[in-house]
Amino acid sequence: MDHAVLGTSGMRVSRLVLGTATFGVAPLEKEADRVVGAALDAGINMVDTANAYGNLAHFDREGVVPAAQRTSAEEIIGAVLGSRRDSLLLSTKASEQVGPGVNDSGLSRRHLVEQLDRSLRRLRTDHVDLFYAHHPDPDTPLDETLYVLDELVRSGKTRTYGLSTYPAWQTMHALWICDRRNLRTPACLQVRYNLVARQVESEIAPLAGEFGLSLLAFSPIAGGLLTTAEARERPYTGETRWGGGAFTDSQVAAAARLEEIARRWGHPPARLALAWLLRRPSVAAAIIGPESAEQVATSAAAVPLARELGDEQLAELDTIGSAGIVDPRPRPSRARS
């Protein structure tokens, strides 16, 4: 397994990260230990979770016990890691609605401090390595959120922090605040990024390269879109996994184009999609969401494949989907002065 340095934190993260958004649903709780074990055996050294993963109602699906009776993803991870926790990097997030109260969401001091403490109890650890502001909060001044995140690092409850799903302008604003207020800067940005969702290439990726931020890409195979036609016909793929819509005609056409290339080159489509992503500028890791140990093995093979793909192959993969690129060339990363 290859590794990349996580922003300016000095921590090295495996090029694949184990995502746990649907833990408790797919895989089921009883199968989670096997999936985690397969990830560790493959050399993955980071597990990514959130306080809102697994046991909320929008994860409900036929054949799975309802949300109120399910164990949360954080609790599952806390139970299965055991003594293995010390050898891993662990990340979690807060801001999504996790209760009925008006203060049960957002990025206020109250919510962030309270939710990280609860996450630590569920994860059975005294700290996480990376704590994310899961989504921007229009009701809390960005200064307030950044002050709290800086304090949580100073307290030792998290080693560093990141921003998730933030637009470029707000990320830039955060960096400006940190510079003016002498606060720690985020180490990374968690973004949706795959062959058919490439909006980050217009502003976020150049920003990350310029200011030394790492990108951690979620939905790297678009929720199963970039796999096979058979997989796309499953009842729960893409946004349907949490109550969203089905794939569009243009998305399916792009996936069919990837399948054609994959047949010609002799690789599974998902492996090619992951390998392409790992070669993109500023991408430190792709966050995979395997539902079985076998899917972990398929994904892990993308890491050596990423090293092997030639420029012509990358250029052909680059034609899939809508890029919307301002300048796709790698930029030299540098720390902020």
According to the model, what pLDDT value does residue 242 have? 57
State how far the Cα of 80 lies from the Cα of 289, in Å rounded to an integer.
17
Q: Which CATH architecture has domain 3-318?
A: Alpha-Beta Barrel (3.20)
Helix 311-318 with 269-278: angle, nearest 10 deg: 110
Which H or E run contains 131?
strand 128-133
166 given a catalytic annotation = no
Q: What residues contact residue 53 under an 8 Å CB cut-off, 6+ apart?
A: 20, 21, 22, 23, 59, 72, 73, 74
**Per annotation, catalytic residue among 53, 132, 166, 236:** 53
According to the model, what pLDDT value does residue 244 have? 66
pLDDT in tens, the chain (337 residues): 999 999 999 999 999 999 999 999 989 999 999 999 999 999 999 999 999 998 878 777 777 888 888 999 999 999 999 999 999 999 999 999 999 999 999 999 999 999 999 999 999 999 999 999 999 999 999 999 999 999 999 999 999 999 999 999 999 999 999 999 999 999 999 999 999 999 999 999 999 999 999 999 999 999 888 987 777 777 666 665 656 667 788 888 888 999 999 999 999 999 999 999 999 999 999 999 999 999 999 899 999 999 999 999 999 999 987 543 333 333 333 333 2
State how far the Cα of 165 lies from the Cα of 120, in Å rounded to an integer.
23
DSSP 194: B
State how far the Cα of 296 lies from the Cα of 290, in Å rounded to an integer.
6
